[in-house]
């Protein structure tokens, strides 16, 4: 597979064309950003860790029948993926209140939610990715139909239930996470982008230690060590 010119550079990944119009190469970067790139940093090896973590989690989800964009890994920090039109929504699923949810609604940090909460954020850096409701999504044509919105919520909940169980037996609370979906050339909705400690919150069940990008956002240090710990636990045979 020939990697060709750069198509797009995001905060976490670079996407390259290939000699096949239906496939692209996604390269995971070492850069870290927070608060809409007002805070930036880098950790050598972070991209490779996220690539490995995301690959493992996408394989797990595929084994439970979730369709994803992943075709195969190419090297430590790149994946070959199906080209999709990204739905411009960040789908966030939460099990425990923290982050923007506690700030917006005044819920005490660490409160276990009575059910898994699914939220949509409009992917627009200039607007700081605002929270949107179903009618905003339809009004702005962010999705084709109400049934697509229902499908995104259903997929979010199903992915949460698979990942939550998987991490629980590895001693980690999946606090919340963000996923993105794309539509392929045949109109299928595929899980796309990545699932990694950049896009999830993991708290150690015993110690409550944060093992995700909040270590960078909150200046707690040992970012890479935390990501290594997540990969180690994912690879544990349970
Ligand atoms: P939040 O509490 O800041 O809204 O974040 C919810 C989840 O979404 C958390 O796991 C981090 C993830 N997330 C991203 O992956 N990218 C983002 O730009 C933001 C704001 C959150």
Q: What is the pLDDT of residues 171-186, one digit of tens each?
A: 999 999 999 999 999 9
Could you list the residue range(s) of the whole structural domain that residue 205 is in? 85-222
Probe ligand 1: pick from 36, 39, 57, 99, max atoms within 8 Å of CB?
Answer: 99
pLDDT of residue 1: 78
18 CA to centre of ligand 1 in angstroms: 30
**82, 108, 123: which is the final residue of a domain?**
82
Q: How far is CA 116 from the centre of its chain?
A: 16
Tell me what the mean pLDDT of segment 25-50 comes to: 97
pLDDT tens string 194-233: 999 999 999 999 999 999 999 999 999 999 999 999 999 9
Whether residue 76 is contained in a domain is answered as yes
pLDDT of residue 104: 98
Do residue 142 and residue 39 come from a single domain?
A: no
Tell me what the mean pLDDT of segment 81-99 comes to: 98
Do residue 78 and residue 108 come from a single domain?
A: no
CATH number for 37: 3.30.200.20
Do residue 156 and residue 39 come from a single domain?
A: no
Do residue 59 and residue 95 come from a single domain?
A: no
Do residue 111 and residue 217 come from a single domain?
A: yes
Identify the band that residue 64 occupies on the pLDDT scale cut at 50, 70 and 90: very high
pLDDT tens string 122-162: 999 999 999 999 999 999 999 999 999 999 999 999 999 99
CATH number for 106: 3.30.470.20
Do residue 113 and residue 207 come from a single domain?
A: yes
CA nearest ligand 1 atom 15, residue: 199
pLDDT of residue 192: 98
Whether residue 235 is contained in a domain is answered as no
Probe ligand 1: pick from 50, 92, 106, 167, max atoms within 8 Å of CB?
Answer: 92
Whether residue 20 is contained in a domain is answered as yes
Do residue 57 and residue 115 come from a single domain?
A: no
Whether residue 228 is contained in a domain is answered as no
Phi-psi domain of 84 (left: phi exceeds 0; alpha: psi -120 through 50; beta: other): beta
Q: What is the pTM assigned to this prediction?
A: 0.98
As for ligand 1, residues whose beta carbon falls within 6 Å of it are 92, 99-101, 129, 176-178, 199-201
Query: In this structure, what are the phi and psi dihedrals at residue 43, rounded to the nearest 5 degrees?
Result: -135, 115
Percent of the residues in the chain that have a pLDDT greater than 70, as a whole number: 100
16 CA to centre of ligand 1 in angstroms: 25
Strands, E assignment, the chain: 3-9, 13-18, 23-28, 31-34, 39-42, 70-75, 78-82, 85-86, 89-96, 112-122, 131-132, 172-183, 189-192, 200-204
Nearest ligand 1 atom, CA 201: 10
In 3-state terms, what secondary structure has residue 47? helix
**62, 82, 102: which is the final residue of a domain?**
82
Do residue 59 and residue 159 come from a single domain?
A: no
Identify the band that residue 119 occupies on the pLDDT scale cut at 50, 70 and 90: very high
> What's the number of domains the chain is made of?
2
Whether residue 233 is contained in a domain is answered as no
pLDDT of residue 97: 98
Do residue 111 and residue 74 come from a single domain?
A: no
Whether residue 227 is contained in a domain is answered as no
pLDDT tens string 184-203: 999 999 999 999 999 999 99
**82, 106, 123: which is the final residue of a domain?**
82
pLDDT of residue 226: 98
pLDDT of residue 231: 98
């Amino acid at each position: 597979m020939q990697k060709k010119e750069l198509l797009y550079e995001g905060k976490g990944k670079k996407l390259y064309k290939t000699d096949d119009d239906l496939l692209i190469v996604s390269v995971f970067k070492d850069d870290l950003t927070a608060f809409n790139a007002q805070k930036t940093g880098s950790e050598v090896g972070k991209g490779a860790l996220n690539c490995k973590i995301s690959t493992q989690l996408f394989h797990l989800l595929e084994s439970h029948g979730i369709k994803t964009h992943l075709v195969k890994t190419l090297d430590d920090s790149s994946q070959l993926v199906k080209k999709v039109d990204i739905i411009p929504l960040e789908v966030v699923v939460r099990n425990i209140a923290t982050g923007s949810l506690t700030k917006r609604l005044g819920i005490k940090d660490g409160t276990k939610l009575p059910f898994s909460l699914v939220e949509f954020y409009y992917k627009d850096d200039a607007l700081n990715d605002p929270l949107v409701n179903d009618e905003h999504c339809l009004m702005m044509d962010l999705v084709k139909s109400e049934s697509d919105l229902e499908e995104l919520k259903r997929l979010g909940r199903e992915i949460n239930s698979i990942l939550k169980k998987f991490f629980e037996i590895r001693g980690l609370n999946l606090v919340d996470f963000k996923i993105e979906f794309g539509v392929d050339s045949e109109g299928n909705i595929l899980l796309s982008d990545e699932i990694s400690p950049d896009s999830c919150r993991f708290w150690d069940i015993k110690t409550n230690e944060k093992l995700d990008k909040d270590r960078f956002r909150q200046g707690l240090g040992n970012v890479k060590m935390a990501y290594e710990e997540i990969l180690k636990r994912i690879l544990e045979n349970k």
